[in-house]
Each structure stands twice: as structure tokens, then as C-alpha cells.
Amino acid sequence: MRILVTGGAGFIGSNFARHLARARPDWEVVVFDKLTYAGRRENLADLESRPGFLFVKGDIADPRAVAEVLPGCDYAVNFAAETHVDRSLYDAGGFIMTDVYGTFVLLEAARRAPGLKLFVQISTDEVYGSVASGSSTEADPLMPRNPYSASKAGADRLAYSYWATYGVPVIVTRASNNYGPYQFPEKVIPLFVTHALDDVPLPLYGDGLNVRDWLYVDDHCRALDLLLEEGAPGETYNIGGGNEVSNIDLTRRILGLLGKPETLVRRVADRPGHDRRYSLDCTRLRALGWSPRVPFEEGLRATVEWYRANEAWWRPLKEDSPAFREHYRRHYEG
């Protein structure tokens, strides 16, 4: 089997490529990635010498580049996206180009690849918008409220339309907030852990009571692997961690694990359009035999330890990368 992993040099994609190397050692894994600020070839360093592993640098919005990698693949999993909500507030165009148009380019190639068994579009729980009470099922209406989630919702339904219209074997997955190793240090957990290690104040948005459902990245990878075999084309699957935690609670846990004082918390202006809560009903996926295995306390401790042990990975990203510095200045210091 050959599987195409687009966006495989990013956080979840690189963890998924590593998962495949362990769980499906005889598969060929082709990682296709543009290597934006968020994509790092180093994230795949341990896989590069593995037989059957191939890295191709390219843009999913480039039909010629996609036409060179997608045909001949049995599976394609599309992680490639601009993913940071805060950045989408300043540059929605880049999100539309990659997340919507890039997905369209991939789907067009999938339509012309008769051997393709499954195309997995990685969507997000953000497409449901803010959930005041209860949990979102896959049948719920989509109500995205920021340019990132609106772009993801566009790609989500476009992927579905290629199943409904052309019979492309598409499934759509909507995962909750992932955490774990190799997450770019602009997202809240790695940002707060690495700031706290340096005794830099943690910029907590608004009242800190927004709730996210945390999913350990390995549990996400296991769910995706299961869906490669058990997912029904045309279906959508929620993938949630079952760990709904407010941001202030999360922040206190991080500080506790690092033995740092709460005085490090700095309340800052809220994110515009900040969704209050996400919550997923995962009955459909659980019926296939999946459930998350990593308890939140354990996953968070392991994640904090990973960042503590891998300063050589994150420090250059925070201190030397113009992409991080520029975003930080514009967003937090502007």
C-alpha cells in the first residue's frame, strides 16, 4: 500500500507518519508538504532513512505538483492547511488558498485516480462553531465563526461534494484540539509551556473560561488508522478526546507541572470571535471500536516533559524564526 500524507511535516501529520511507520511497517509513506513556517523537515528526521519513506516538497494548491504524487496512491490523508486561528484574523487569503483551493486541487486529482481507495479530509470541531450546551453530532449544522474555521468548513463540504457528485471515496474527520510533541510553539499548550520555562508571562485571552476538548495526538492517529479500514465513504466522523478543560484550568495545570507561580498569568484582550466551547459527540467513531487511551493528566505531563527535553527543537522556532517573531509582535505586542 502507498499512502500520501499531505501536510505531513506539521504537528499532527508528522505524528501520523511516525504512527504509520510503527503500525504499518510495510506501507510506502509519501509526505507532501510545502514547508511553511509550521512545516519542519526535522519533524520527520527519524523516518527519512526508512525504506518506503519519501518526502516531496510541494504545494497542494499546485495542480502539476499534486498530479505527480497522488496517482498511484491507495490512500490520501489531507492534513495540509494553514491552521492558526489568530493568524487567520490577519491573513484570511492564505487560509482560503490552501485550506479551500488546495483541497479542491487534491480532490480533482483524486477524481482522476481510479486506484484510490480512500481520501481522508482532516477537518476540525471548529466547523460547528461555539457549542453552548450538549455536544455536536456529525449531523449538526456548521456555524464557523472565524476565517480559519470557515475555510475548513468550505473544504469539509467540498470534500463531501466530491463523494456525493463524483463518487470519490471521501471521508471527513472532525477532531478536537490536539496536543503532544512537535506542535509549533504558537499554539496555546506549547506557547505556555515554553514561556513558563523561560518565566515569560502567559497571555491568557479574555476571562480564561473558554473550553477546549483536548485529544492526545497519538489517540488521533489511532482513530485515523482505524478509519482507513473501517471508515465508510461519504461519512463524517467526530474525533474528540473527552477532556473538556477551561483555558485557566489548563494554564494552572501547566504551571503546576513546571512548579511555576500563578503570577506568570497575564490577562490580555480576548480573541475576536473567540468560540466559547467545543464539544464532540463521538458515538459514531466509538461504535467502530475506538476510544481515547491517554488520560489528560498523563498526556499533559508527557507533553510538558517533551518540551522540557527538546529545547533544541523549539527555541530556534521562537527566537530565530521571523514567522514566529512577526506574528508575536503583531498579535501580542502591537
For residues 198 and 316, give the distance between their C-alpha atoms in angstroms, rounded to a whole number: 14
Residue 61's binding partner out of ligand NAD, ligand DAU, none, with CB under 5 to 8 Å set by partner kind: ligand NAD
Residue 132 per-residue DSSP state: S
Closest CA to 289 of 334, 213, 202, 229: 229
66 interacts with ligand NAD by CB under 6 A: no
Q: Which of 53, 75, 162, 184 binds ligand NAD (CB under 6 A)?
A: 184
Residue of 126, 138, 186, 218 with catalytic role: 126
Is 195 a binding residue for ligand DAU by CB under 6 A? The answer is no
Stretch that binds ligand DAU, among 119-127, 222-230, 290-298, 305-313 (CB under 6 A): 119-127
Decide: 270 and 205 in contact? Cβ < 8 Å: yes
Contact present, 82 and 149 (Cβ < 8 Å): no
By beta-carbon proximity to ligand DAU, the closer residue of 181 and 203 is 203
Q: How far apart are CA 42 and CA 46, in angstroms?
A: 8
Query: Quick one: which of 36, 78, 83, 279 contacts ligand DAU (CB under 6 A)?
Result: 83
**Residue 173 and residue 228: Cα distance in Å, rounded?**
11
Distances, alpha carbon 293 to alpha carbons 16, 138, 216, 225, in Å: 16, 22, 9, 15
Q: Is 122 in the site for ligand NAD (CB under 6 A)?
A: yes
Q: Are the beta carbons of 100 and 155 closer than 8 angstroms?
A: yes
Our finding on whether 76 is near ligand NAD (CB under 6 A) is no
Q: Does 247 bind ligand NAD (CB under 6 A)?
A: no
**Beta carbons within 10 angstroms of residue 213's beta carbon:** 22
Give which of ligand DAU, ligand NAD, none residue 212 binds (C-beta under 5 to 8 Å, depending on kind).
Answer: ligand DAU
Contact 236, 171 (CB under 8 A): yes
Q: Which stretch binds ligand NAD (CB under 6 A): 17-25, 36-44, 279-287, 300-308?
A: 36-44
Which member of 3, 5, 11, 314 binds ligand NAD (CB under 6 A)? 11
Applying CB under 6 A, the residues found at the interface with ligand NAD are: 6-7, 9-13, 33-36, 38-39, 59-61, 79-83, 98, 102, 122, 124, 152, 175, 177-178, 184
